[in-house]
Amino acid sequence: MVGPRRTQMGEAQSVTVPSAHLIPALEAIGAAAYVVDEQGRIIAANRRAEGVLGRSADELVGRDAHDLLHRGPQGQQLARSQCGMRQVSHAASPAGDGREYFEKADGSLLPVFWTIAPYDISAGRAGTLVIFHTSGQAPGPGADPEQAAGTLTAFERLALLAETTTQLTSTFDTEEALRRLVSLVLPRLADWAVIDLITERDEVWRAAVVQADGDALVHHDGLEGPMPPIPEESPMPLSQALRGVASALAGPDTYQGSPDSGITAEQHRLFETTGIHSAAIVPLRSTRDVLGALTLGRAGQPGAFTGADLALLDDIARRAGLALDNARLYQRQRKVAETMQNHLLPQMPSVPGLQMTVRYLPAPDASQVGGDWYDAFTLPDGATALAVGDVVGHDLEAAAGMAQLRNMLRAYAWSQEEPPSRIVERLDDAIMPITDVTMATLVLARVTQNSDGHWELSWTNAGHPPPLLITHDGLAHYLTDGHGLLLGTGIRRPRPDATVRLPPGCTLVLYTDGLVEKPGHTLDEGLNRLRQHAAALAHRPLPSFTDQLLHRVQPPGLDDVALLALRTPAQERDHHRRPTPS
């Protein structure tokens, strides 16, 4: 979201509103910090930064950090080419312990030390994280090396924790979260990373064994896979971490004795295979449970892990555990939503001579069950009823309304031998007094086979995107006739029917608007894109046609999508038939 903000000079400029995850991530750093966008404008600052600079967030956000803060030793304005901090920021690589002067709100000069690191503002947008402290707070050159956590300075640790927070909280995909976690710690802290996860059935699965080989991260699939059960009393480091008891340091000597459990034997194999000479093992915890363990190992890297390293890794693992737990909850909720939706949607009938396929793509929000639906069933007179519809809303209420609407439509269509328009009129009359549905769109159609063997489609459209008909030769056009008002308006008006003869080997596509509506594009553009791809795929077998159509159209994923495709049987052309002898 972009909006204007007035600078002190009265000049309007466009300011990017920060993503919701930025503020909590900055508050978790524990030092004064702010984030700038690609143009050097401040888009978020934490309370410590406000206090140190004497400026509120409103006075910081939207301003160019260089113009507002950066000064020379005598308080003079610095040329951009002379500002080392700005040059480092543009290099898009981490740098630390630089010296700078900031101007406070009262005009006084504040000597600071700073650390800069690249920072993901949001998907596809890069920014820069600036962590700073006053010179009186700077760690001196004689600081205890135990406080330096290996080769990282105190402020490099803060930058790593901030990066961990923003990287891991910006995804709800478990595998992507694990990939990001490994990329954060390798090769910065170690040259081996091992992640063991506890599954929902309390089994242990070694999900990742990754080695840093220069700039490349190499997965060792042979060391991954199922692990023995967690021993209840074992004092060995990994066993304790998986029980959430404690973090620990380990080395080859730790696993030299006779193994007390299967997990200990697997750890012995890991140390022998990788050549790890020093390891730190920490639990991955959520607020509710232990999710697994993270093991970092050094084989090619010199130096052993220390207690300060363990404290840093505990903090990283705590953040990783929360992110993994959120991802698991999201995926579990999404699975429940998909399962519920799939149970609400019917199985397709078997109709001699016709092929049918259906697809349903759920909305991206795991908490939302959509109101999109499809249906097909055989009528008492032998015709096949087809329906695709969309109930307004994206929640359980919409899904319940969808089920009500579909069941009522089935009942009316089965009991009343009437054209589609009259069935939909009856349904519209019943929506307000009987169901919880406010508004809905749908296409209801009948497919019948005439005495001459040809197939015919009759339909009515209640405010829904038009069906698409594609011939076997790739001619595609929308069936725009039979169009009337959507359901639930309260307006009583006769609904039209339309009829078309279905050519041999043609494909009929009924779909919901999630397939053709895309932010930044018109509906006509979406319909044209669907028509072009459907025409190009006309020769494909129907299941392949349907899958490839979804793949090529690439629904934006902002809404659920229901799709029903039907194909008539191909017939020999008359001129290919041999004349009957007289």
CATH number of the CATH domain containing 235: 3.30.450.40
Contacts of 41 (CB under 8 A, 6+ apart): 13, 15, 16, 62, 63, 64, 65
Instruction: Examine the fold and report which residue of 309, 335, 361 is the final residue of a domain before the chain moves on.
Output: 335
- What value, to the nearest 5°, has the Cα angle with vertex 282 and ends 278 and 288? 170
Please check whether residue 325 lies inside any domain of the structure. yes
- pLDDT, position 136: 47
Residues 242 and 151 in one domain: no
* 529: pLDDT strictly greater than 90: yes
Residues 242 and 280 in one domain: yes
Beta-strand runs (E) in 348-502: 355-361, 372-378, 384-391, 440-449, 455-462, 468-470, 476-478, 483-484, 498-502
- pLDDT, position 413: 94
Average pLDDT over residues 103-109: 89
Range of the domain at 22: 2-162
- pLDDT, position 391: 86
The residues pairing with 350 across neighbouring beta strands, listed in sequence order, are none
Q: How confident is the model at residue 93 (pLDDT cuts 50, 70, 90)?
A: low
Please check whether residue 303 lies inside any domain of the structure. yes
- pLDDT, position 343: 57
Q: Can you give the CATH number for the domain in which 423 is found?
A: 3.60.40.10
Calculate the dihedral angle through the C-alpha atoms of 482, 483, 489, 493, rounding to the nearest 10 degrees: -50
Please check whether residue 580 lies inside any domain of the structure. no
Residues in the chain: 582
Residues 291 and 357 in one domain: no
Q: Please give the tally of structural domains in the chain.
A: 3
Pick the closest to residue 559 from 423, 400, 395, 436 (CA basis).
395
Q: How confident is the model at residue 382 (pLDDT cuts 50, 70, 90)?
A: very high
CB burial of residue 467 (10 Å; 0-12, 13-18, 19+) = buried
More confident residue, 499 or 122: 499
Average pLDDT over residues 51-57: 90
Residue in this structure with the two tokens 């269509």, named with its chain if needed: 413
* 165: pLDDT strictly greater than 60: yes
Average pLDDT over residues 519-544: 94
Pick the closest to residue 413 from 403, 401, 427 (CA basis).
427
Q: Phi and psi (nearest 5°) for 419?
A: -65, 160
More confident residue, 168 or 294: 294
Please check whether residue 582 lies inside any domain of the structure. no
Give the Cα separation of 265 and 227 in Å (integer).
10
Give the Cα separation of 114 and 95 in Å (integer).
9
More confident residue, 75 or 273: 273
* Alpha helix ranges (H) inside 2-153: 22-27, 47-53, 57-60, 65-69, 84-91
Instruction: Examine the fold and report which residue of 162, 183, 218 is the final residue of a domain before the chain moves on.
Output: 162
- pLDDT, position 266: 94
Q: What one-character DSSP code corresponds to residue 436?
A: S
More confident residue, 184 or 126: 184
Mean pLDDT of the chain: 83
Please check whether residue 404 lies inside any domain of the structure. yes
Average pLDDT over residues 499-526: 93
pTM of the full predicted structure? 0.50
On the CB side of 328, CA atoms within 13 Å amount to: 18
Residues 309 and 409 in one domain: no
Average pLDDT over residues 108-115: 82
Average pLDDT over residues 21-40: 78
Average pLDDT over residues 400-405: 77
169-178, 227-236, 474-483: least confident range = 169-178
For helices 542-553 and 523-536, give the axis angle rounded to 10 degrees. Answer: 140
Pick the closest to residue 25 from 148, 169, 188, 202 (CA basis).
169
* 126: pLDDT strictly greater than 60: yes
Residues 419 and 565 in one domain: yes
Average pLDDT over residues 530-544: 96
Q: How far is CA 427 from CA 88, 447, 488, 493, 521, in A?
A: 66, 20, 10, 13, 33
Residues 499 and 356 in one domain: yes
Pick the closest to residue 248 from 308, 310, 297 (CA basis).
310
Residues 327 and 353 in one domain: no
More confident residue, 432 or 198: 198
Please check whether residue 477 lies inside any domain of the structure. yes
For helices 154-169 and 174-185, give the axis angle rounded to 10 degrees. Answer: 170
* 571: pLDDT strictly greater than 80: no
Give the Cα separation of 5 and 22 in Å (integer).
20
33-47, 112-126, 305-319: least confident range = 112-126
Q: How confident is the model at residue 135 (pLDDT cuts 50, 70, 90)?
A: low
- pLDDT, position 63: 93
* 8: pLDDT strictly greater than 60: no
Q: How confident is the model at residue 30 (pLDDT cuts 50, 70, 90)?
A: low
- pLDDT, position 396: 56
25-39, 286-300, 433-447, 519-533: least confident range = 25-39
* 5: pLDDT strictly greater than 50: no
- pLDDT, position 173: 82
User: pLDDT tens-digit profile of 273-302?
Assistant: 999 999 999 999 988 889 999 999 999 888
Please check whether residue 340 lies inside any domain of the structure. no
* 372: pLDDT strictly greater than 90: no
- pLDDT, position 532: 97
Say what percent of the chain tops pLDDT 90. 45
Q: Can you give the CATH number for the domain in which 144 is found?
A: 3.30.450.20
Residues 327 and 378 in one domain: no
User: pLDDT tens-digit profile of 461-510?
Assistant: 999 999 999 999 999 999 999 999 999 888 888 999 999 999 999 999 99
Instruction: Examine the fold and report which residue of 101, 133, 162 is the final residue of a domain before the chain moves on.
Output: 162
For helices 396-415 and 420-434, give the axis angle rounded to 10 degrees. Answer: 130
Give the Cα separation of 300 and 550 in Å (integer).
47
Residues 272 and 386 in one domain: no
CB count within 10 Å of CB 417 equals 12
Residues 355 and 391 in one domain: yes
- pLDDT, position 3: 37
More confident residue, 90 or 492: 492
Residue in this structure with the two tokens 């406080």, named with its chain if needed: 147
Residues 254 and 109 in one domain: no
Residues 194 and 119 in one domain: no
Please check whether residue 579 lies inside any domain of the structure. no
